[in-house]
Structure formats: C-alpha cells, structure tokens
Amino acid sequence: MNMSVKIAGVEFKNPVMEGSGTFGSGMEYGEFVDLNKLGAVVTKGVANVPWPGNPTPRVCEVYGGMLNAIGLQNPGIDTFIKRDLEFLKNYDTRVIVNVCGKTVGDYLEVVERLADEAVDMLEINVSCPNVKEGAIAFGQKADALYDITEQIKKKAKQPVIMKLSPNVTDITEMARAGEAAGADALSLINTITAMKIDIHKRTFALANKTGGLSGPAIKPVAVRMVYQVSQAVKIPIIGMGGIACADDALEFIMAGATAVAVGAMNFHDPYTTIKVIDGIRDYMDKYKIDDINDLTGCVR
C-alpha cells in the first residue's frame, strides 16, 4: 500500500499535514503527536520582524467552528530560524514554512533568509493586507496575486505554495493567476471572514470585530472550491478547511487535492492528524486501494 505523494518534486510519506497557525511549529504538540508520522509540519506564519498580533479577545467559539483574529502574531524570522527550525531538524518529516508580510518586500526578505535553511517548501499566506493597496489582501486581486507570486518565485530556492483566500468572487481566477506566475502548488482554503456579536454585552465578540471562520462548518465550501480549482489548474492542490476525520480528508482528495491539512480540529483533539492518517489507511485497506494517488480527483 502506497500512501506517499509528490508535490513539485517533493515526496511526502503520506498526504496529511496540519494547517498553519493551528500547530505552532510542532513543539506544543510533541507530547500528543509523533511528528515523524506526519507527511509534513506546516509552521505558523513568520514575518521579517516580530508581529505582536491583534488585541484581545481574539478567539471565540461559534456553531460548527471558531473565529480567530490572532493577527499573525509571530517572533520574526531571526528567532524562528534559531528556535523553530532547529527544533524541526530532530524529526523525519517535511518542513513547510508559512510566510506572511505587509509588503512584497517583507515577503521577499523572509524568502531570502530561508533560502539555505532546512526547509522543503514555502507556503505564502496572501490573505495578509497589502498596505500599499489600501489594506486589500494580496490574494483578493488577481493582478496582485500574480505579482507577488512572480517576485517570490524569482527569489525562492524552495518550491512555492500559494495559499488562497476564499473571500473572493471567483477563486479559480486567483488560482489561474498563481499558476500563470509560476506557483508550484496551491493550498486552499484559508479562513472565511466572519463576525459574532455578544448580545448580552452588545458588542463584538472579537476586539477586531471580524475574524476568520474555521472548523467543520466551512468544509462543504472548501471541498467545492478545491474541486473548482482542480478543474482550472494543473498544479497540485493541498486541500483544507474543516477536516475533522479521515472521511473529510478523503472528500478533499477525491475532489482533486493531492494532500490535505488539518486545522481547527487540532484545538479540539490534538490527535486528529494521526487519526486521519490511520483512517485513510483503513479506507484503502477496506476498498483494496493500492495507491493513494489513485483517489486524487477520482470524482468528476
């Protein structure tokens, strides 16, 4: 039975990783999860300088999921390299670093710093507000997405994954822009912009007013978008958004994803990634499927 997959020439022992921002860099989950069993560890977003994040409260529960407005709090690239990447060298798993920034220059600075580090792939978070475009996210305008992808590809030593935002009119337009600019793969979806109001305090549940919705509630939307993008581009897709079990992961794979990422469910059950890996293996055994790749995009 083969559970390994390839994305842009990088081989993963299985198609399961965790979503950026839900797992730190693995240190916090080490006592629950054997990181060696994961297809990859995807780090929390890192910027060229430390970001303090948004004021609190910045997390709240909603039906079927959660809202977060963390604000991409991170220690900056210097501390990240010394602490997080050194930690991950102890494990036999692929390392994907999620990169964030406020300007194209911010992204490029991080990409260049990571060029000679033990990093297998870069995931570019284009849901960050572009301060030079009136704070419209890089991933909400096809021309901006094309531009940042093209510039990052010129500097990057590792394959580049562009992480797409669902907060657009047509996600396939964004996917095509990323592919045309040279992206090696796409990951989707990021969180859906949402809001909750505390009716007793008559105020917003989050200090930021809005936050990103994640969790099982968004899975049907995410599966639909993965399917649409898989029909629009030829580069590999990492599917995510509401995965809670192996059945969910298999939906994404059958819709066209080569690999999947578990996000918000890590907070609910830190063993979810391992359960998903085991569940996919059980499914393959039950239906006598020899190669996980035979399931990718099998539903048309």
Beta-carbon count within 10 A of 65 CB: 24
pLDDT tens digits, residue range 90-104?
Answer: 999 999 999 999 999
Q: Mark whether 60 is an active-site residue.
A: no
Pairing of strands 65-68, 59-62: antiparallel
Residue 59 lies in a domain: no
At residue 19, the pLDDT reads: 96
Residue 198 lies in a domain: no
Residue 67 lies in a domain: no
pTM (2 d.p.): 0.96
Distance CA 88, CA 52 (A): 24
Closest CA to 189 of 134, 139, 246, 138: 139
pLDDT tens digits, residue range 28-84?
Answer: 898 899 999 999 999 999 999 999 999 999 999 999 999 999 999 999 999 999 999
Which CATH number does the domain housing residue 110 bear? Answer: 3.20.20.70
Residue 58 lies in a domain: no
Distance CA 61, CA 216 (A): 12
Annotated active-site residue in 60, 100, 128, 245: 128
Average pLDDT of every residue of the chain: 96
Note down the domain range covering 125: 5-53+72-192+213-295
Residue whose pair of structure tokens reads 């293996």 in the numeric block:
281
Residues 6+ positions from 203 with CB-CB distance below 8 Å:
197
Residue 184 lies in a domain: yes
Percent of the chain, pLDDT > 90? 93
Residue 245 lies in a domain: yes
Residue 234 lies in a domain: yes
- Per the structure, the count of domains in the chain is 1
